[in-house]
Structure 1
Amino acid sequence: MVQQADSIHTGLEIDAESQQQSVQQKHSSQLTPKQVLSWLPKNATPAQQDSMIRAHVKPCEITHWSKMPDTLHLPGHKAGKSFRDVSLPQYYRESFFSKDSLFHPELRGGRLGVAGDPVPYTVAGDNFITSLLLLCFVLACIAFSKSKHFVFRQAKAFFRVQREGTTVITETSSEVRFQFFFVLQTCLLVALGYFFYSKASISDTFTIEQNWVICIYAGYVMSYCLIKALLYTIAGLVFFDKKKNEQWLKAYLFLLSCEGVLLFPVVMLLSYFDLSLQVAVIYTIIVLVLVKILSFYKSYLIFFKRNGLFLQIILYFCALEVVPLSALWGGLVLISHYLKINF
């Protein structure tokens, strides 16, 4: 049986070769699959058909393209032109849907693969905030090394009562710049601390980028400090003399600078070491209470110690310390609720 099958297969190949030679004599071009399959009997198996196609049809480069005119247009009309032709009028180059609001050819129509979950935003992964904190740390070290004598002098003078007629040591321009830098650093650190709190308690998604949210918080805290300094100046000029007002403003800037220095470690721990928010809130409250106690003590030394008035210091402290702090907290909460995404 095997010999009979081989003889049949050999006979088919011989017949195919003879037919191929006759066809190639008539047609010098490449054979088509139809011509090759016509040589086989009707009962040829698919394997035999495939072997015949592989043996006689060889792929080659097309050298004779059709030169017939394009007929893919309406009968009786001339062939269209390409939309890339710049000589065409505008209405030819525009599509019917060009002015449709839903037509966006520049957008990709599909997505490759399955969309994954987006990576949640973290301050540790934010290059802008990381660079800003690193810059603050480096500049704070430089500022402290350049003005450490000024800082120690202010710390000593903070707990002393300046007598009348005492010569006041004026600050240099570089020392004033360094102190204003510490104040700006305090505003940024307060904004970052409240940003962590708002993400945990109010909302972790906002209508704008997180960087802009932090910038808005920092701008609001900076406005709070400026308005508070303006209120101190107005109250000092109305009820006290210019010298006492100047002493208090220097003490106020010193307290703001110290507040930023004390808040810097907790912000770094929240950003990069996943410190518990509860511990951070307790630490921040302790720092704020300590700063308010020191401001209460300094305002008493400057304004009310010689007068022996106790009720006025309470009113002064409540009007210029407690009320602005409550306004700061309420404004930050209002901004957070305005910027959050409501689902």
Structure 2
Amino acid sequence: MTPRCPVDSLQVHYCQPQDSLLATMVQRTEIPGRPGVPLPYQLRTDDGITSVILLCMCMLAYVLSRGRHFLWQQVKDFFSTRERSSLFAEETNTDVRYRVLLLLHTGMVFGLLVFEYLSGRLPTALHAHPIRWLGLYIVACLAYYLLKCALYSFANWTFFDKQKSRRWLDSYSLVFVGEGLLLFPLLLFVVYFDLGAEKKVLFIAFVLVLGKILLFCKCAGIFFGKYYRAFYLIVYFCALEILPSFLLGRTLITISSLL
């Protein structure tokens, strides 16, 4: 018989016992099933990565729409063999702005490529805070550029005149920016179309080797004469190319070890 609750003057309440058949069934009922398999991390589904890529596209579209004359003048000066390209070669504030935007764009592209390379090898830590680590990689790539500019400036100030040093820094900046422009379409294919690793490595190697060849030829034309040119070029590039690259590699390894 079901136990009765205390009776008041208006109504009677019936209490259900705690060990009733319904309570036992509710407590012991289990919904059958198996845990789902989590989807792997993909750069295309990360809102932060997409925002950085959109920012790169906006900066590139702004420069290409308004700074075409600036880019064309830089390319003409790069392939020019004259000691002084123009009497009015000084950059305006607008030209400096275009240069800074292109340098930031290149740093972001290199940082994204490094992040994409490491995302498959250090997934747990990178995927927890992707924007934080991506920012570190971008800063490391931009610091690499600034370090090389500082080393070039010191070496050229020691051995060459100011005009040659300025031409060389402009040439190096143009090649660095050009590498970013060529690698940006590759970045889009890697992130959104799963480009194969072999094709990716070949294209990156082609762009970097092409940039070194252009710098090698430009360096020979600016600084060194016909005699002993090869010897001076080897010394110059060994001192100012290998050391910054080694420091960049060590920096990326150190950042990755913090994950």
For Structure 1 versus Structure 2, the TM-score category normalised by the shorter chain is 0.7 to 0.9
Mapped pair 1:203 → 2:122:
yes
CA contact (8 A) 2:220 2:229 kept: no
Unpaired runs of at least 5, structure 1: 1-26, 34-112
Size of the aligned set, in residue pairs, is: 233
SS of 2:44's partner is coil
Q: Which residue of 1 aligns with 2:157?
A: 237
Give the distance between the partners of 1:29 and 1:166, measured in 2 at CA.
105
Shift of 1:303: 0.6
Partner of 1:160, secondary structure, is coil
**Partner secondary structure for residue 91 of structure 2:** coil
**Whole-angstrom CA distance in 2 between matches of 1:138 and 1:123:** 19
Assess if the C-alpha contact under 8 Å between 1:292 and 1:321 holds in 2.
no
Structure 2 CA distance for partners of 1:285 and 1:164, relative to 1, 3 Å: closer
Distance in 2 (alpha carbons) for counterparts of 1:32 and 1:333: 73
Deviations 1:302-331 (A, max 9, x none): 111366532111110111123322332232
Which one has a larger percent helix, Structure 1 or Structure 2? Answer: 2
The answer for the alignment partner of 1:85 in structure 2 is none
Inter-partner Cα distance in structure 2 for 1:279 and 1:119: 26
Q: Residue 273 of structure 1 aligns to which amino acid in structure 2? A: F
Larger radius of gyration: 1
Equivalent position of 2:225 in the other structure: 305
Q: Percent identity?
A: 35
Highest relative contact order (Cα 8 Å, sep 6+), 1 or 2?
2
Q: 219, 232, 243: which one pairs with 2:139? A: 219
- Please name the residue that 1:67 is paired with: none
For structure 2, the 5+ residue unaligned runs are 1-7, 15-32
Given the two structures, how large is their TM-score scaled by the length of structure 2?
0.81
Amino acid at match of 1:140: L
Change (3 A) 1:278 1:330: farther
Q: Which amino acid aligns with 2:224?
A: F
State the alpha-carbon separation in 1 of the partners of residues 86 and 151 from structure 2: 27
Cα distance in 2 for partners of 1:143, 1:270 equals 24
How big is each residue's C-alpha offset from its partner over 1:1-28, in whole Å with a ceiling of 9 and x where there is no partner?
xxxxxxxxxxxxxxxxxxxxxxxxxx97
The residue number in structure 1 matching 2:175 is 255
* Compared CA separation, residues 305 and 157, structure 1 to 2 (3 A): farther
In the superposition, the TM-score normalised over structure 1's length comes to 0.62
SS of the residue 2:43 aligns to = coil
Task: Tell me if structure 2 keeps the 8 A contact 1:191–1:218.
Answer: yes
- Contact residue 220 and residue 233 of structure 2 kept, 8 A: yes
1:32/1:124 CA distance change after superposition, 3 Å: closer
* C-alpha distance in 2 between matches for 1:330 and 1:254: 25
Taking only aligned residues, the RMSD between alpha carbons, in angstroms, comes to 2.4
Letter in 2 for 1:174: T
Distance 1:214 1:298 in 2: 33
* Equivalent-residue separation in structure 1 for 2:257 and 2:244 (angstroms): 20
Q: Deviations over 1:131-182 (max 9, x none)?
A: 2211221221221121111211211221222236962522221111111111
